[in-house]
Amino acid sequence: MNTLKLCFSPCPNDTFMFDAMAHHKIDTEGLSFEPHIADVEALNHQAIEQDVAITKLSCHAFACLATRYRLLPSGSALGKGNGPLLVSKSKMTPADLKNCPVAIPGKYTTAALLLKIAYPQLNELKEYLFSDIETALLQEKITAGVLIHEGRFTYSDKGLHLIDDLGKNWESRTGQAIPLGGIAVSRQLDQSLQEKIARVLRRSIEFAFKYPRESTEFSALYAQEMDAAVMAKHIALYVNNYSIDLGNDGRNAIRFFLKEAVKIGAVHTVPDDIFV
């Protein structure tokens, strides 16, 4: 049996999608997968440093790596109303943030690029693990921070204030869905193997939608500090029809985002054949 390293984040949307293929609950067409679970920014850096067979990537990181990886048509976190949030401890406006320390959840995250696109004047960005940003704000180590994942569900309960919804900002200016992340495969893999992985992943996600309770134990294993209700909201927000298949709209949204990354100089160029 061919065993491939499968890298994804501990977030419930990923464990929900990958549970069935990682644990042979579906037909894997002779493939076996060795899960490697890490924060998405750690996965971004890992993919930069070495070729990985299958990995979750922020779309920002993918823009930098598109000559070495291609995106699978399934598994993406893409949609509307689910973008990162710029928040602070005190009520503020974006204009108040010039020359103030602002936390980002990693330089290669899509959140960091959306912040740069929306507010290029912010020049004191500090990298934090995404789960540490709320605490840093409350301890006043930073003036503002960009929250991703479950932070969007918990920030107001902790007394933090919204400065801007970077997702809605993107949507209102471009009319496009927000391409947060996707599942990439190394271009070193044979085309037939890339296509097989794509079929297996789609099958895994379809299984998860059909039997949502099947992944609960696996998701809870890596979300031990997350309330069950928040975990369910997390999955509902980030896993949708685009996760099953990007379709033309999803592909166009990603292409548009990559062109914007080139336009602002985040990357030099992106090849045309970015999808499996």
Residue with tokens 């976190």: 77
Give the percent of the chain with pLDDT over 90.
83
Apex CA 161: angle with CA 160 and CA 164, to 5°?
135
Nearest-angstrom CA–CA distance, 16 and 234: 10
Per-residue pLDDT averaged across 41-62, rounded?
Answer: 96
Domain ranges of the chain: 2-78+178-263, 85-174
Cβ atoms of residues 90 and 221 within 8 Å: no
The packing angle between helices 247-263 and 110-118, to 10°, is: 60
> Would you state the CATH architecture of domain 85-174?
3-Layer(aba) Sandwich (3.40)
Nearest-angstrom CA–CA distance, 120 and 49: 27
Per-residue pLDDT averaged across 216-229, rounded?
Answer: 80
pLDDT of residue 225: 63
| Catalytically active residues, by annotation | 149
pLDDT of residue 234: 83
What are the CA-CA distances from residue 37 to residues 42, 113, 186, 200, 239 (Å)? 9, 23, 18, 19, 18
* CATH number attached to the domain at 2-78+178-263: 3.40.190.10
- pLDDT tens for each residue of 75-114: 999 988 889 999 999 999 999 998 999 999 999 999 999 9
Q: Is the pTM of this model over 0.85?
A: yes
Task: Find the farthest-apart pair of alpha carbons in the chain and give their distance in angstroms, rounded.
Answer: 57
Question: Which of 198, 207, 187, 178 lies closest to 245, judged by CA?
Answer: 198
Q: Band of the pLDDT at 120, cuts 50, 70, 90?
A: very high
Q: Do the domains 2-78+178-263 and 85-174 sit in the same CATH topology, yes or no? A: yes
